[in-house]
Amino acid sequence: MSSTVYDSQLFRNMFATEKMRAVFSDKALIERYIETEVALAKAEASCGVIPATAAAEIADKARYEALDLAEMQHQTEIVGYPILPLVEQLSTLCGQAGRYVHWGATTQDIMDTAVVLQIRAALNIVEADIHQIREVLTRLAKEHRDTPMAGRTHLQHALPITFGYKCAVWLSMFDRHAERLSQLRPRVEVGQFAGAAGTLASLGNDGFSVQTAMMKELGLGVPQATWHVARDGFAEVLNFLGLVTGSLGKVALDIMMMMTSELGEAYEPFVKGRGASSTMPQKRNPISCEIIYAAAKGVRQHAGLMLDAMVQDFERSTGPWQAEWVAIPEAFMLSSAALEQAVYMLGGLEVKPDNMRKNLNMTRGLIVAEAVMMGLAPQLGRQTAHDVVYDACRVANTENISLLDALLANETVTSKLTLAELQALTEPANYTGLAPLMVDRTLLASAKVKN
């Protein structure tokens, strides 16, 4: 029976993806333990520490399918860790070669390296999703480079922008995430093999050679120093996921608000029944955005937990390490869900330029009060121009007229600017500033970011 959203028959694909669930499944984890043990044996054979025949036998006989998982679970609950029970079974399976299984290693060496292998696979999925999101946002930014809409600050109309500009802002975040990911991977994808207290004492002078050979087998970096209690790499990964899902949450919040009945500027892809209400047939709720928003909050909590787990005692922790077993898989599950929902939602986003234009005009020119002020400033001075336009805005609001009409009723204004000039200044589409050029600049920079 399932008991969490990650494995629930109802919610499993809303808060995780099958790809990411496969990376962090029990089977995958145990297989990574075995992969690590086999790599260790091969490395030690190559360095002359154990017989080559023993390493070959271990590689041949160490198989997930041969394990008694029920017994392994039982023993794990007794020991507190799964490696001793695993090693006992592998030693039996490998016959005479079994005496060389786990030679010179400690439990945390195997578990940490296995988690790094999982993280490497998980980051491949994250990387592919970020690439897709960047592709979609690139398309949207290009298509809507010049699509005017209301820019909003403090939930109020501020100045006109373009929807392409908004998408370019989103794209810039994911360009930086792509760069962060490529930069952090060499720091994080580093294996662990150091022995009981991290000094490789059990292998004498062969320690470094075995360590290097083992990491070559696994395609991982060689640690500068033992990181049994130096968990900044894992903390960096989870806080990276926090940044990614935080950006996804920002995009989701914008689109949720743009989907409101009052705005109607953009909508998630239409699928019959999606976002429907049990009682209100007219509803079209922002389901993908809501899942992204919730997932981002969950990842943020796990990022904080991982930061807390960095504070460890001496050369082997008493508790923080186990906290990672919760934080890392769940953070990746939630991140994968948020990313997949974003790929789907942005890929089929329904953009409504007509509604954007309608909302842009809803204040009848007030959104470009700054443009009028700047048009008057050369003749009146900035502060005087501000006061004149401020008064005109109050008149427009009080008398329920357009800003243009309020300005035309003001002799100070009409003595300085013609009707044509005022009409141009009060047209919102004329005051998007450098937004389209910022789109161009962002697209150019994004194309140079390594995928």
Active site residues: 154, 277
User: What are the residues whose beta carbons fall under 8 Å from the beta carbon of 293, sequence distance 6 or more?
Assistant: 249, 252, 253, 256
Alpha-carbon gap, residue 379 to 374, rounded angstroms: 10
Query: What are phi and psi for residue 282, nearest 5 degrees?
Result: -80, -10
Question: How far is the CA of 59 from the CAs of 37, 95, 103, 347, in angstroms?
Answer: 9, 12, 14, 45
CB atoms within 10 A of CB 75: 17
User: What are the residues whose beta carbons fall under 8 Å from the beta carbon of 80, sequence distance 6 or more?
Assistant: none
Beta-sheet strands, E only, within 270-331: none
Burial class (CB in 10 A: 0-12, 13-18, 19+), 31: middle
Alpha-carbon gap, residue 326 to 229, rounded angstroms: 17
User: What are the residues whose beta carbons fall under 8 Å from the beta carbon of 3, sequence distance 6 or more?
Assistant: none
Which one-letter DSSP state was computed for residue 49? S
Alpha-carbon gap, residue 440 to 167, rounded angstroms: 12
The closest of 362, 373, 311 to 150, measured between CA atoms, is 362
The closest of 332, 174, 345, 176 to 254, measured between CA atoms, is 345
DSSP annotation string for 60-96: HH--GGGS-HHHHHHHHHHHSSSHHHHHHHHHHHTGG
User: What are the residues whose beta carbons fall under 8 Å from the beta carbon of 371, sequence distance 6 or more?
Assistant: 425, 426, 430, 431
CB atoms within 10 A of CB 308: 12
Q: Are 68 and 89 in contact (CB under 8 A)?
A: yes
Question: How far is the CA of 170 from the CAs of 9, 68, 175, 211, 252, in angstroms?
Answer: 33, 49, 9, 42, 11
Alpha-carbon gap, residue 146 to 224, rounded angstroms: 51
